[in-house]
Structure 1
Amino acid sequence: MEKSIKKGFFFKPYEAPFLSPFEKLFGLFKELITHTSGDFDEAIDWLRQLDVEYKLTDASYTIDDFIEDLKKKGYIREEIKDDGTSGTGITAKTERAIRQQALDQIFGSLNKSGRGNHTTKYSSSGDELTGEFRAYAFGDALDSISITESLRNAQINNGVDQFALTENDLVVEDAQFKAQMSTILMIDISHSMILYGEDRITPAKKVAMALAELITTRYPKDTLDILVFGNDAWPIAIKDLPYLKVGPYHTNTVAGLQLAMDMLRRKRNTNKQIFMITDGKPSCVREKDGNYYMNSNGLDEYITEQC
């Protein structure tokens, strides 16, 4: 009697992947350094408090050992602060690690693919092959001709005894255009991003860092520019994202959009887009005389009509 083979799902208890003591603390450290806007001392103070409460370390590996490993691995360095005192700061290596962690958290479900660009529905003599063939047309590159398929057509059309290869037999492997994109990322750093004790700037930074890492790694031919806006708007570099802090600002969305449009006008790419990360309504606009008109109470039509 034949045995019936049953198919289905096999469940077993979850087994957490092995992480070294450094790796466990480093993941938490990257979260804390994002919340503290790059303030190493504050992040370590928080880490020590969490260690006391949750017993993250033991005698074999302490927080001090973790700090030494951060130095050895090039994640932190001694630096001179703005006030002239010496202190410890994070390095570019840590900044990249923070952006990568944000990418994994927010876009972690994306399937890995080769480095490329945004494909379009238009066929061309581009550099991404589709696997499909079409008849040769004047102007097609000679290296795009499929020799195997063209010879096959010649045999079918003319026979083996009177073999001849004509232009009608030639086929080329089709390709697609790869569109390039220019992106402007706007980030609101007005006071409302931390109003009423709600931390909105940290999630905003995470989204910004994830998007920046996604574009720079998956779409290297694209351009990405970042600006922040409060009472005014100004550009920042990708490396500045972990250090963003809110200020005593209102929300001048108009200034942000004007700067974003001005930056896009300088880009040669046909495809352009703006992403804006904000928590709410515009509340400020700059008048022609340089003064600011501000109103935080409700939606002010004088401001919104200029957006």
Structure 2
Amino acid sequence: MAQALGNGGLADQMARLTANLRTLRPDLAWDRRAQVRGQQGLGYGEAAGALAEIGDLDELLDQLGQEHPGATLDDVDVDAVERILGRGAAGDVRRLQELERELRRQGWLTRGGDGLTLSPKALRRLGGTALRRVFASLETGRRGQHDLRDAGAAGEITGASRPWQHGDEQPIDVVRTVANAVRRGTASGSSAVSLAVDDFEVVETERRASAAVALCVDLSYSMVAEDRWGPMKQTALALSHLVATKFPQDALQIIGFGRYATRLTAEELAGVEPDYVQGTNLQHALQLAGRHLRKHSGSEPVVLVVTDGEPTAHLEEGGEAVFFWPPLSETVQATVAEVDALSRYGATLNLFMLGEDEGLRRFVDAVARRCGGRVFTPDTEDLGSYVVNDYIRARRGRVSR
């Protein structure tokens, strides 16, 4: 020690300091030696310089990490970046600083306790852009607005009926239809009853003016690994923007699910990171969806599920998630129980299956048969078109089963 430091008195002070530190932190592995490489030893001056450089690197890492409250890119010491990482890296930091300042000035980014986030203005722009892309891929006849001549199959029967029109999904008024055929036959002098297109009438029901929609999106790591993360977010943002701008009377709840499910705002979804913990807890997601629907009991209940894997997790009575692969029978039963609860409530439940997982295919087909829902298998780039179009269709009222 004395030889390395070049001063016996300094070596004694270092020894006392080491002893004091051992006393204060006995939990540390003081006797464990670090593995070092190199052919030459360091003198005191060189060691001090190396320690100073390590300190500079540590401080720079903290500045670049932006993890402390109130951190901004202006906190980064550009001179230190140039000294340690080179002129090119320093130029990159300066450009990033200018970009952040400009985005904040224009109102696209905000700084809060959680760091740099997208502003409401930015979210509206992202949602609008995503929605325009969705509508661009839809057929012209399937775009946008409400079809107000829809009698609303899921509402209360009014007792009235009207002539059937092409595209109607309302139940046929059998009595009025047959009566029309009989009157037409009698007027023509025929005793036989034969149906013509003009004889058909449909039952009119009181149309629900709003919809309660739960969009359940898979946040498991496989969504990232298979390049489905971006399209999933774009789909949710597009639907959120559509509801906010065209159907503000509707209540949309985004629900993300991994090992657990959680309610998300559009802003939270935009910043959410993949769940690296194993588990696809669709049961919990459907449970939260049911709660959302019941909070809006006067609205048309709609549940849309986007996933790329079969359920592998469920909640126990105490609220703890249980994960297992291959899926436990208890997981499947718990998930199906939530499907049945939604079906009894009268909700439309449609599933959007991403990928070609055979286990998932068997599961979603069984669920669709059980609840009368539909299964879609869109290409990833078409996911938004499928979900938005199905929302518009489903909120008008379910086809009578």
Cα deviation per residue 1:112-149 (whole Å; 9 max; x = unaligned)? 999965635339xxxxxxxxxxxxxxxxxxxxxxxxxx
Distance in 1 between residues matched to 2:235 and 2:264, nearest whole Å: 16
Asked if 2 retains the 8 angstrom alpha-carbon contact of 1:233 and 1:255, the reply is: yes
Match of 2:226 among 168, 193, 198: 198
Q: Which residue of 1 aligns with 2:134?
A: 106
Of structures 1 and 2, the one scoring higher in RCO (CA 8 A, sep 6+) is 1
Give SS of 1:274's match.
Answer: strand
The number of residues matched between the two structures is 189
In the alignment, is residue 256 of structure 1 matched against residue 289 of structure 2? no
Asked if 1 retains the 8 angstrom alpha-carbon contact of 2:236 and 2:266, the reply is: no
Distance in 2 between residues matched to 1:113 and 1:253, nearest whole Å: 30
Q: Which residue of 1 aligns with 2:148?
A: 119
Q: Specify whether residues 271 and 66 from structure 1 end up closer, same or farther in structure 2 by C-alpha distance, changes over 3 A only.
A: same
Amino acid at match of 2:307: T
Amino acid at match of 2:229: I
Amino acid at match of 1:211: L
Amino acid at match of 2:305: M
In the alignment, is residue 285 of structure 1 matched against residue 314 of structure 2? yes
Structure 1 segments unaligned to the other structure (5+ residues): 1-39, 42-61, 124-175
In the alignment, is residue 209 of structure 1 matched against residue 237 of structure 2? yes
Q: Specify whether residues 113 and 191 from structure 1 end up closer, same or farther in structure 2 by C-alpha distance, changes over 3 A only.
A: closer
Amino acid at match of 1:71: R
Asked if 1 retains the 8 angstrom alpha-carbon contact of 2:259 and 2:323, the reply is: no
Shift, 1:93, TM fit: 1.0
Q: Which residue of 1 aligns with 2:330?
A: 302
Distance in 2 between residues matched to 1:214 and 1:265, nearest whole Å: 22
Distance in 2 between residues matched to 1:115 and 1:200, nearest whole Å: 25
Match of 2:103 among 66, 70, 78: 70
Asked if 1 retains the 8 angstrom alpha-carbon contact of 2:212 and 2:292, the reply is: no
Distance in 2 between residues matched to 1:294 and 1:89, nearest whole Å: 32
Shift, 1:260, TM fit: 0.6
Match of 2:219 among 189, 193, 201: 189
Structure 2 segments unaligned to the other structure (5+ residues): 1-71, 74-94, 153-205, 336-401
Higher helix share: 2
Q: Specify whether residues 255 and 109 from structure 1 end up closer, same or farther in structure 2 by C-alpha distance, changes over 3 A only.
A: same
Amino acid at match of 2:151: Y
Amino acid at match of 1:226: I
Give SS of 1:280's match.
Answer: coil
Q: Which residue of 1 aligns with 2:252?
A: 224
Q: Which residue of 2 aligns with 1:275?
A: 304
Q: Specify whether residues 215 and 118 from structure 1 end up closer, same or farther in structure 2 by C-alpha distance, changes over 3 A only.
A: farther
Shift, 1:66, TM fit: 5.2
Distance in 1 between residues matched to 2:319 and 2:149, nearest whole Å: 44
Distance in 1 between residues matched to 2:134 and 2:247, nearest whole Å: 17
Distance in 1 between residues matched to 2:261 and 2:315, nearest whole Å: 11
Distance in 2 between residues matched to 1:116 and 1:256, nearest whole Å: 29
Shift, 1:255, TM fit: 0.8
Asked if 1 retains the 8 angstrom alpha-carbon contact of 2:220 and 2:278, the reply is: yes
TM-score, structure 1 as length reference: 0.53
Cα deviation per residue 1:136-182 (whole Å; 9 max; x = unaligned)? xxxxxxxxxxxxxxxxxxxxxxxxxxxxxxxxxxxxxxxx9563211
TM-score, structure 2 as length reference: 0.41
Asked if 2 retains the 8 angstrom alpha-carbon contact of 1:180 and 1:271, the reply is: yes
Q: Which residue of 2 aligns with 1:49?
A: none
Give SS of 1:306's match.
Answer: helix
Matched residues, percent identical?
26
Larger Rg: 2
Match of 1:90 among 91, 103, 118: 118
Q: Which residue of 1 aligns with 2:341?
A: none
Distance in 2 between residues matched to 1:295 and 1:261, nearest whole Å: 25
Give SS of 1:296's match.
Answer: coil
